[in-house]
Chain A
């Protein structure tokens, strides 16, 4: 399982986090688990990449956070998409789709 290459894939990680948080708010572990789930286990986001990204995105105004209770009744910090985050997800997904389509086309061309 390759860890995300942060240089190349920072945008990818942001996009994945935004996507992971779309249906519901999650804590850090939850985000990590959800990403593994929606990518079919292709991405296992480690804490060392996850938390810096979460905090950066929070400061960018895409996420907000609050303290809540985890499923094991423990105090944990939950993240939630903001309106700006939803907009960001939308525009980034569109961009990503354009790029991946273009890349796929390019790679298929012989």
Chain B
């Protein structure tokens, strides 16, 4: 087999002749020629000279032979291509189906791979991104935290100044700031960066200069800003004079010193920053939350990055950083901020914290999307496999149908190699056409996918480009080549083996038996793969259904929400408080609005405010078990639709100094077991100002979801925001009497009149918000459903094709059976038996595959098992019905065979 392939390869692609052979050949010619001349009486020297002269130089002759060979090769290629195009055009149905199948497979793969590549695999656009790591502290921090990847400012300084493994460290903090004036105020994502950020990343500017270490030495001293290139283009229309001007950020005049290099949008892929500000301007950029000047160690908020020194591996660095961290932790554990609220057991746990280094390109979007995207890539891989099987089947069927043609061409003297080449050229043409269509499809698909996946604004800014890059193209071309080679060569080898006499004589010769069993196997594979894809589709669609059906526990229709933050405009606490109170009154007066609720924390957006609580019996609970909290307005529960089951809700009179709380039933069960919760007291652990349990429970609500739809409702406690001292974000919820979408524009207009300086952010209906929070699940469910449907369609067509062919070949046999008295129903039974054997084999294979792969998708499911029997049975039934129907049509045709015609058939 190998030598056969080798010979085939040589004869098909012999573009290069062995020059040495040619050289030998010409040398022989020269000697023979001079021998002749010697015979004629010349001296040997003269004979050789004349012979050489006559020949005109060995090299020249070799060159001419080469030219001729290349010309012949090209001529033939053109001939083959023209012939190929003609044959394909002659059979447009086949060509269309084959190309569409391939386009689908290649398109789906390219789209998913390019999304995966750009969202999950790609590195940051900085110099040597692979040497960049995120420095993370694992374990319980025993304080407030902005997320798992953050550490405190003093911790960053300690690590930066004492480590041996990094050539440099920088840190960053993402924030939202308000840019502009009364005319056009907008909230934009900003990146607060340490002075070492730009130099260590190796990122420059296209205009002006980057933020330098000097800009970041003294708090509040340097109001400077660097714009991202895309923001400079979109917001300032690429105006070069912007450098040197001042712009307003949060009401502070900031000096624009530069525009970053194109393509650089900060270190968090998928969350592009538009402006870069020295981290020493933290107070101005995030009012009410400093974390810098008094150097609190129990507030972790900066994400620290290090650039590994040359020759230092990630593991070595991690190991070498542990003693350094341990020393810092020992010191921290002595401090009153730590000891005040912790026990000895806590201290021992705390000292076990470790440094973990993550690749610098990691972020939350990646973590969230890694598994679903790999899953989708696997699904599309299955679709491509199926498409290949289908194409192979089509080409085999065609090769069989063309045996007469091949036999004829062999009979009139065409070389076998020529026929193989012809078939290969045809399959390459098909694959090439499929690839081009597939790329176009992928381009469209990626644009749509990005739009589903990201909010419109972010999708427009997102650095993921729907145009595949060189690697993706290489991937596509590789896949295309492989497909066309494997499925072009199979029939090609068979085709070239055609026995002339047999094929010309007898079309239904026994020769084809091998072909049909191969085709049956391919159909079996198709059934198995589509069964697998259908099961996947079933599981993911039901997961989405489960999540949607579950709901948050309150009615989400007629609910409109937006976020607002006047403190970013430099409003004082008192001004912000008054802003909220006036806003409440104003919105309640708006026509079409039934009630208005305020909450400091957003509902079902994945965020949580957690704090350890203290009371008589409970203290310093580990962070996972801390209750989630929020500060809310008086009508919040009424607006959301959460009943108060015991006690009362807040009123506008709950403004302090007495501290009240409404808790949910889980909170009551957890902290006041067996007691009536109303009238109980608890406190919040606060490192700065230790207090006793001074908050009184005045009401209880049922357990509702807080962070997201997947969670079991955690213990929750709510406080009246009017009791508070500091005022920042507010999430406004409006229960409307009319369709909330109808009043969105009116609401925007009203807010602009209310205060033109304060932008309204993320105005959307609760339906939309929840829909967006389920986007990963929806994406996976929709795509897997589409893939499952297409796979089934392809498999069904494949099965129909094979069965129709089987019936055609057995026409004579069936005719005889009917002639000697077989019932038509038994003919149908006979064919259907074959159909069900095929389907059954496919189902069994698909079933075992599905069982084996089940664990890989477990984490993507909700409310059902990956081996869910209902889904398995349902998919099997759907597939069996569809495929059975496809097999029934040929069976029906078989039963209608007219014996007299059938026997004359050949």
- Bound together: yes
Chain A interface residues toward B at CB < 8 A: 27-30, 33, 46-48, 51-53, 55-56, 59-61, 70, 72, 74-77, 82-84, 87
| Closest beta carbon of chain B to A28's beta carbon, Å | 5
When distances are taken between beta carbons in the complex, the residues of chain B under 8 Å from A60 are 72
Q: Are A55 and B69 in contact (CB under 8 A)?
A: yes
By the criterion CB–CB under 8 Å, are B35 and A59 in contact? no
Q: A48 and B21 in contact (CB under 8 A), knowing A27-B29, A55-B68, A61-B418?
A: no
Cβ 8 A contact of A56, one of B36, B61, B68, B412: B68
Given contacts A27-B32, A74-B32, contact A46 B68 (CB under 8 A): no
| In contact, B28 and A77 (Cβ under 8 angstroms) | yes
Contact B26 A76 (CB under 8 A): no
B32 and A29 contact, CB distance less than 8 A: yes
Segment with Cβ contacts to A, from B52-60, B125-133, B271-279, B563-571: B52-60
> Would A46 and B28 count as touching, CB distance under 8 A?
no
Residues 21-43 of B, flagged 1 when their CB comes within 8 A of A and 0 if not, give 11011101101110110000000
Q: Which residue of B lies closest to A53 (CB)?
A: B68
Q: Flag if A48 contacts B31 (CB, 8 Å).
A: no
- Tell me the bound Cα distance from A76 to B22 in angstroms: 10
User: Is the beta-carbon distance between A47 and B21 smaller than 8 angstroms?
Assistant: no
The answer to whether B28 and A51 touch across the interface, beta carbons within 8 angstroms, is: no
| A72, B35: Cβ atoms closer than 8 Å | yes
A93: shortest Cβ distance to chain B, in Å?
16
Judge if B65 is at the interface, Cβ distance under 8 Å: yes
> Quick check: A51 and B32 within 8 Å, CB to CB?
no
In the complex, what residues of B have CB within 8 A of residue A52's CB?
Answer: 61, 64-65, 67-68
Q: Is B415 an interface residue (CB 8 A)?
A: yes
Please encode chain B, from 71 to 87, with 1 for each CB lying within 8 Å of some chain A CB and 0 for all others: 01100000000000000
In the complex, residue of chain A having the shortest beta-carbon distance to the beta carbon of B76 = A59
Residue of B nearest to A62 (CB): B413
Query: Contact at B72–A76, with CB atoms within 8 Å?
Result: no
Q: Does B17 contact A (CB under 8 A)?
A: yes
Q: Does A74 lie within 8 Å of B65, measured CB to CB?
A: no
B61 touches A51 (CB 8 A): yes
Chain A, Cβ-Cβ closest to B24: A75
29 contacts between A and B (CB under 8 A): A27-B25, A27-B29, A28-B28, A29-B36, A46-B56, A47-B54, A47-B61, A51-B22, A51-B26, A51-B65, A52-B61, A52-B64, A53-B68, A55-B22, A55-B68, A55-B69, A59-B69, A60-B72, A61-B414, A61-B418, A74-B28, A74-B32, A76-B28, A76-B29, A77-B25, A83-B413, A84-B413, A84-B414, A87-B412
Cα distance, A31 to B68, chains bound together (Å): 19
Q: Which A residues are in CB contact (< 8 Å) with B24?
A: 75, 77
Which chain A positions have C-beta within 8 A of B28?
Answer: 27-29, 70, 74-77
- In the assembled complex, which residues on chain B have CB atoms less than 8 Å from the CB atom of A51? 22, 25-26, 29, 61, 64-65
Q: Which of A47, A48, A76, A82 has the most CB of B within 10 A?
A: A47
B68 to chain A, nearest CB (A): 4
B31 touches A72 (CB 8 A): yes
Shortest CB-to-CB span from B709 to chain A, Å, is: 69
Distance of A19 Cα from B186 Cα, bound (Å): 89
B413 touches A76 (CB 8 A): no
Given contacts A51-B61, A51-B64, A56 and B29 within 8 Å (CB-CB): no
Specify which chain A residues have a CB less than 8 angstroms from the CB of B413 in the assembled complex: 61, 82-84, 87
A28-B65 contact in complex given A46-B54, A47-B55, A55-B17, C-beta closer than 8 Å: no
Most A CB within 10 A of own CB, among B33, B68, B73: B68
Q: How far is the CB of B36 from chain A (nearest CB, A)?
A: 8
Chain A residues with Cβ below 8 Å from B32 are: 27, 29-30, 70, 72, 74, 76
Once A52-B68, A72-B35 are accepted as A-B contacts, the answer to whether A28 and B61 lie under 8 Å apart by CB is: no
Nearest chain-B residue to A84 (Cβ)?
Answer: B413
B-chain residues with CB within 8 Å of residue A76 when the two chains form the complex:
25, 28-29, 32
Which interface residue of B55, B65, B69 has the most chain A CB atoms within 10 A? B65
Q: Which residues of A contact B67 (CB under 8 A)?
A: 52
For B61, the chain A residues whose CB sits under 8 A away are: 47-48, 51-52
A81 to chain B, nearest CB (A): 12
Query: Shortest beta-carbon distance, B406 to chain A, in Å?
Result: 15
- Taking a contact as CB atoms under 8 Å apart, the answer to whether A61 and B64 are in contact is no
Residues of B within 8 Å of A87, CB to CB, are 412-413
Question: How far in angstroms is the closest Cβ of chain A from B25?
Answer: 4
Q: Which residues of B contact A61 (CB under 8 A)?
A: 413-415, 418
List 12 other contacts, CB 8 Å, given A28-B28, A82-B413. Answer: A51-B64, A52-B64, A52-B67, A56-B68, A60-B72, A61-B418, A74-B28, A74-B31, A76-B25, A77-B21, A77-B25, A84-B414
CA distance A6 to B297 in the complex (A): 93
Residue of B nearest to A28 (CB): B29
Q: Give the residue name and chain of the B residue nearest to A49 (CB).
A: B64
Which of B25, B36, B72 is packed against the most chain A CB atoms within 10 Å?
A: B25
Report chain A residues within 8 Å CB of B26. 28, 47, 51
Which residues of B402-419 have CB atoms within 8 Å of chain A's CB atoms?
Answer: 412-415, 418
The residues of B that contact A27 with a CB separation of less than 8 Å are 25, 28-29, 32
Smallest distance from the beta carbon of B64 to chain A beta carbons, Å?
5
Query: How far, in whole Å, are A74 and B54 apart by their CA atoms in the complex?
Result: 21
Contact B418 A48, beta carbon cutoff 8 Å: no
Query: B29 touching A46 by the CB < 8 A rule?
Result: no
A84: chain B residues within 8 A (beta carbon): 413-415
Report, nearest first, the 10 A-B pairs whose CB atoms are least far apart: A84-B413, A29-B32, A52-B68, A76-B28, A47-B55, A77-B25, A61-B415, A28-B29, A52-B64, A56-B68
In the assembly, what is the distance between CA of A56 and CA of B66, in Å? 10
CA distance A46 to B53 in the complex (A): 10
Roughly how many angstroms separate A28 CA and B26 CA in the complex, as a whole number? 8
B69 near A29 with CB under 8 A, answer no
* Given known A29-B32, A61-B418, A72-B32, contact A48–B72 (CB-CB < 8 A): no
Bound CA span A75–B470, Å: 51
Please, how many angstroms separate the alpha-carbon atoms of A24 and B413 in the complex? 20
Q: When chains A and B are docked, how far (Å) is the Cα of A87 from the Cα of B413?
A: 8
Q: State whether A28 touches B25 (Cβ < 8 A).
A: yes
Complex Cα distance, B34 from A74, in Å, reads 13
B54 contacts A56, C-beta separation under 8 Å: no
* Chain B residues positioned under 8 Å from A30 (CB to CB): 32
Q: A77-B21, A83-B413 are in contact. Are A48 and B55 (CB under 8 A)?
A: yes
**Could you tell me the distance in whole angstroms from the C-beta of B591 to the nearest C-beta in chain A?**
87
Selected from B33, B56, B73, B412, the residue in CB contact (under 8 A) with A29 is B33
B32 to chain A, nearest CB (A): 4
Contacting residues, chain A, for B64 (C-beta < 8 A): 48, 51-52
A56 and B72 contact, Cβ closer than 8 Å, known pairs A47-B61, A51-B64, A76-B25: yes
Bound together, the chains give a CA A3 to CA B24 distance in angstroms of 25
Which residues 387-424 of B sit at the A interface, judged by CB distance below 8 A?
Answer: 412-415, 418
Query: What is the CB-to-nearest-CB distance from A22 to chain B, in angstroms, rounded to a whole number?
Result: 16
Residue from B28, B54, B55, B56 having most chain A Cβ neighbours under 10 A: B28
Q: Which residues of A contact B36 (CB under 8 A)?
A: 29, 33
A1 to chain B, nearest CB (A): 12
Provide the bound-state CA to CA distance between A88 and B24, in Å: 29
In the complex the two chains form, is A48's CB within 8 Å of B60's CB? yes
- Bound CA–CA A30/B54 (angstroms): 16
Residues from chain A with a CB closer than 8 A to the CB of B72 are 56, 59-60
Cβ–Cβ contact B56 & A48, under 8 A: yes
A55 x B65 contact (CB < 8 A): yes
The residues of B that contact A77 with a CB separation of less than 8 Å are 21, 24-25, 28
B69: chain A residues within 8 A (beta carbon): 55-56, 59
In whole angstroms, what is the CA distance A53 to B418 when docked?
A: 20
Specify which chain A residues have a CB less than 8 angstroms from the CB of B35 in the assembled complex: 72
